[in-house]
Amino acid sequence: MDVPIFKVILSDEAEEEILLIFDYNLNATKDFDVTMKIDKNIRKSISELYFMPERGSNLQNKVPFKTDLKYIRVYSWDIIYRIVGDEVHVKAIVHERREDSFFYTR
């Protein structure tokens, strides 16, 4: 059985957000192990998009406008992405309380 493999493309902003989330969590918790656990789980969820991009939830259910974006929740962070053919475009990684800022700035 062939499992389709998708190409995952992170936007420059999403790549930067991974680093900013790491810094934020380390400063907030002062606990390197907790920070590493969060970082590893975010990265693991992104890597799983290569094989299972459909597993995410439709963002359409959370916003008052039409969109084809999907999201995966990792702790209190949402990985927001779009499936385009055989590619997965990761647009943002945002805190659940700040999702609206993503839609108005990108």
pLDDT digits (tens, 9 = 90+) for 56-65: 999 888 777 7
In a domain, 2, yes or no: no
Mean pLDDT of the chain: 90
Cα–Cα–Cα angle for 97, 101, 104, rounded to 5 degrees: 150
**Stretch 81-95: mean pLDDT, rounded?**
95
At which residue do the structure tokens 């493309």 appear?
Answer: 9
**Stretch 72-101: mean pLDDT, rounded?**
89
Range of the domain at 98: 7-105
46, 8 contact by CB (below 8 A): yes
The CATH number of whichever domain residue 28 belongs to comes to 3.30.2310.20
In a domain, 60, yes or no: yes
In a domain, 1, yes or no: no
pLDDT of residue 36 exceeding 90, the answer is yes
pLDDT of residue 106 exceeding 60, the answer is no
pLDDT of residue 31 exceeding 80, the answer is yes
- The span from the CA of 12 to the CA of 83, in Å, is 17
**Is the Cα dihedral 45, 71, 100, 12 positive or negative?**
positive
**What pLDDT, on a 0 to 100 scale, did the predictor assign at position 101?**
55
**What pLDDT, on a 0 to 100 scale, did the predictor assign at position 102?**
57
Q: What number of residues does the chain have? A: 106
Total domains, the chain:
1
- The span from the CA of 91 to the CA of 106, in Å, is 9
**What pLDDT, on a 0 to 100 scale, did the predictor assign at position 104?**
46
